Structure 1
Amino acid sequence: MEGITVHPRFKDSPHFKDFWEKGNGKLLIDFSGAEVSFKDFDQFSHYFYHVDETGDEVVKDVYWVKKFKEASADIEHYIRNGVSEKDNIPESVKKLFGQTQQIPEWLDYNLLKSGVELCMRSNLDSLISLRDYCLIGGYDYAYLNKPLTATEALKKGAVKRLSETLDFWVNVTRYDALEVHAKGYEFAIKTRLIHSYARLSIKKYYKQWDTENWGEPINSWDMMATYIGFSLVFLHSLQKLGNTFSKEEEDGIFHLWKYVGYLLGIPERLLPDNKKQATEYFYLWTSMQPPSDKDSILLAHSLLNESLENPILKYKFQRTNLRYLHICCTWFLLDDEVCKRLQIPDVPNRNLFPKTKILINKIYDKIVSRDARIKKGNKDQMKVLKDYLEITKNSNFH
């Protein structure tokens, strides 16, 4: 936004200092060797008001001039068959597909493969990390969640939201998924347009949107933070749960999400190559975010109670136990202060399950080969996704 000076407004706040001096932020600095400061703040701050204009133009030129079903069919066709300069289609569509069909020079297929294999071989720990650290931890950043409130995502229910996140994550983290026209590529393009559709709808209909304080809806800087969740925070969580990974796998995770981010229209400047960069970028972004508010607490509790609502497990005692295990992992993975702000219930013996998991992971690491773990992880993750998709296809979960 013209004329607005952005500054690290929460850098002296207790929640920011606690996180970076005593909490997970300090652990991230130790984990990554990052050198955090505000010297580069101005190089990033303008992205608070920057959005994917190409995606927005496609939505205006396709979704806003046709019926939704027709527009979706057109986009499906472009994803499957590609787009060329000769096609008689809107310029915005040519621009978006021109970018996403162009393989960047920096793309390294061996690193992509290493990142994908770590996601699969970490099996259910990957899903625990995404849910109980990345997703619920993200709810502590109040401004980041404003688009969810504005689009009434809470009304959709946590089962549906979790199913959609899982569907996206699994489909972009399989072998060759990001090849042009492949399934992961399709998910990246569709997710990009969903973001644009949501952003334009918020700007059109949600009059309470406070751009000056909250930034543009689904802005590029917030997108960067979200994808650092899928790389840096995800890796840190795996480590906390007793998983080990090679340098190549670690670099592979960052490379994988750098390419997904590229397909989603996030500026390359915001896509870190390694954990040191990611931590330094994340530090600057968190200085713009206040701690949990009432919407954060609602989102967190909706996610916690998802286990009780979800009919994948047949019996009530199984669902209650699953909720308890997720609460244990949330307390173990997040800072106590964050859990208290989000009003995560305290439960007895909350370290027992995570500590047992660490022990099992260490044994499993020694006795089962890497290839066998990749194969089993892929199978188990696909099973969880299949179960979620099965229950959410019914309209009562919409």
Structure 2
Amino acid sequence: MEKTIVQPRFKDSPHFKDFWTKGNGKQLIDFSGAEISFDKFEEFAPFFYHTDEAGDNVVKDVYFTKKFHEASAEIEHYIRNGVSEDDHVPDSVRKLFSQTQKKPEWLDYNLLKSGAELCMRSNLDSLISLRDYCLIGGYDYAYLNKPLIVTEALKKGAVKRLSETLDFWVNATRCDALEIHAKGYEFAIKTRLIHSYARLSIKKHYKDWDTENWGEPINSWDMMATYIGFSLVFLHSLKKLGNTFSNEEEQGIFHLWKYVGYLLGIPENLLPDDKKQATEYFYLWTSIQPPSDKDSVLLAHSLLNESMENPILKFQFQRKNLRYLHICCTWFLLDDEVCRRLQIPDVSNRNVFPVTKKIINKIYDNLINRKSRIERGNKAQLKVLEDYLRITKNSNFH
């Protein structure tokens, strides 16, 4: 069968042009100094049909040959103890761990530390950015969401999905978390194998998967876009909320997610080094994505209504207020067109909270020293994660 040649099929569509000429895309270009063009499109396009073969082979050899809990225990043993030349393990396991245990030449621990410290220093703004810009904004890309829909993520519920995302993000962004055998490293390997397990399951059970249009399930190009969400889009959101960051912290964010991407099996040439590169890569990828569809709207509303379902806050009025605040931030951070496509409810005085937050951040930046802010932010983020894990980990929540 002849390989499909991907084209920038939506480059002349209003949603694409508006985003890059007057929306957040235009802001990203101004923020990064990117020089956008389609010159490198053919270099990136094949990755729409490229997947993590090393991860898939481990899943076939380990998860598909024994009970799930046995396979998970075996993988945890490899993660925590490593795999040496003398160990009797499947070749696929040896190959994957020889890659993840080998530190790339470009790895810079000072930059990893700077990136982690910015994530913590930004306190709850980091979590607002992830939820109300990175996650919900990602739902506007209809093809990107298809694996979530076909694996019935909606049935799991937004509270559980948010808890898992938060667990991964927090554990990957602490200082020294990505040392081999440390918690962030463990989350990266497990996430990589979850992606492979989901991809192989989709290919086996979901006969209507439209490879030509949607690409391979959880393909390398989509993975690149997702991790640009954690770096470029995340930084842009912090900036919108009035946070400042040094050049080293900015470089650190890209370096941190480049290394996480490396551990996750994303090809290195897809992992941007800085905001200019990330914006140019993101521009190419968005040209193959249509705007929101009905599945996008369902995912967005599931996330918006998470505040109402979540029992962390005891009283109904508290939950309603939290939902309102997230809606305000979503309108503030995303383009109005995107919000309308995702059918985000319009609410009164929607700029009051984010603009107030922006002013407070600028004052706070001048009053509190960096070290204290990192400590406070770390503590606040760990508290939010602890609350989520408490209600989801040892329960039948959704």
TM-score by length of 1: 0.99
User: Aligned partners of 2:5, 2:81: CA distance in 1, in Å?
Assistant: 44
How far is the alpha carbon of 1:32 from its aligned partner?
0.1
> Match for residue 387 of structure 1?
387
In structure 1, give the amino acid aligned to 2:233: V
User: 1:22-101 maps to which residues of 2 (within 5 A)?
Assistant: 22-101=22-101
> Match for residue 276 of structure 1?
276
User: Aligned partners of 2:304, 2:173: CA distance in 1, in Å?
Assistant: 25
User: 1:165-180 maps to which residues of 2 (within 5 A)?
Assistant: 165-180=165-180
1:292 aligns with 2:278: no
How far is the alpha carbon of 1:5 from its aligned partner?
1.3
User: Aligned partners of 2:83, 2:67: CA distance in 1, in Å?
Assistant: 21
User: 1:80-229 maps to which residues of 2 (within 5 A)?
Assistant: 80-229=80-229
User: Aligned partners of 1:68, 1:245: CA distance in 2, in Å?
Assistant: 43
> Match for residue 322 of structure 2?
322
How many residues align? The count is 398
In structure 2, give the amino acid aligned to 1:267: P
> Match for residue 246 of structure 2?
246
Identity %: 83
Moved over 4 A (4+): none
User: Aligned partners of 1:77, 1:393: CA distance in 2, in Å?
Assistant: 21
Deviation readout 1:237-264 (Å, 9 max, x if unpaired): 0000000000000000000000000000
In structure 1, give the amino acid aligned to 2:101: Q
Deviation readout 1:53-93 (Å, 9 max, x if unpaired): 00000000000001111100100000000001221110000
User: Aligned partners of 2:351, 2:385: CA distance in 1, in Å?
Assistant: 27
Deviation readout 1:101-147 (Å, 9 max, x if unpaired): 00000000000000000000000000000000000000000000000
How far is the alpha carbon of 1:272 from its aligned partner?
0.1
User: Aligned partners of 1:5, 1:358: CA distance in 2, in Å?
Assistant: 45
How far is the alpha carbon of 1:3 from its aligned partner?
2.7
User: Aligned partners of 1:13, 1:269: CA distance in 2, in Å?
Assistant: 28
> Match for residue 8 of structure 1?
8
In structure 1, give the amino acid aligned to 2:117: E
Deviation readout 1:330-376 (Å, 9 max, x if unpaired): 00000000000000000000000000000100110000000000000
SS across alignment from 1:19: helix
How far is the alpha carbon of 1:394 from its aligned partner?
4.1
User: Aligned partners of 2:112, 2:60: CA distance in 1, in Å?
Assistant: 33
- Output the aligned Cα RMSD: 0.7
In structure 2, give the amino acid aligned to 1:217: P
User: Aligned partners of 1:245, 1:150: CA distance in 2, in Å?
Assistant: 39
In structure 1, give the amino acid aligned to 2:150: A
User: Aligned partners of 1:327, 1:9: CA distance in 2, in Å?
Assistant: 31
User: Aligned partners of 2:262, 2:288: CA distance in 1, in Å?
Assistant: 24
User: Aligned partners of 2:70, 2:5: CA distance in 1, in Å?
Assistant: 42
User: Aligned partners of 2:275, 2:3: CA distance in 1, in Å?
Assistant: 33
In structure 1, give the amino acid aligned to 2:244: T
In structure 2, give the amino acid aligned to 1:294: K
SS across alignment from 1:395: coil
Deviation readout 1:210-238 (Å, 9 max, x if unpaired): 00000000000000000000000000000
In structure 2, give the amino acid aligned to 1:105: E
How far is the alpha carbon of 1:395 from its aligned partner?
3.3
User: Aligned partners of 2:391, 2:208: CA distance in 1, in Å?
Assistant: 34
How far is the alpha carbon of 1:393 from its aligned partner?
2.0
User: Aligned partners of 2:240, 2:79: CA distance in 1, in Å?
Assistant: 38
User: Aligned partners of 1:30, 1:149: CA distance in 2, in Å?
Assistant: 34
> Match for residue 304 of structure 2?
304
| Structure 2 unaligned regions, length at least 5 | none
TM-score by length of 2: 0.99
In structure 1, give the amino acid aligned to 2:237: S
User: Aligned partners of 1:276, 1:216: CA distance in 2, in Å?
Assistant: 27
User: Aligned partners of 2:58, 2:39: CA distance in 1, in Å?
Assistant: 36
User: Aligned partners of 1:2, 1:12: CA distance in 2, in Å?
Assistant: 27
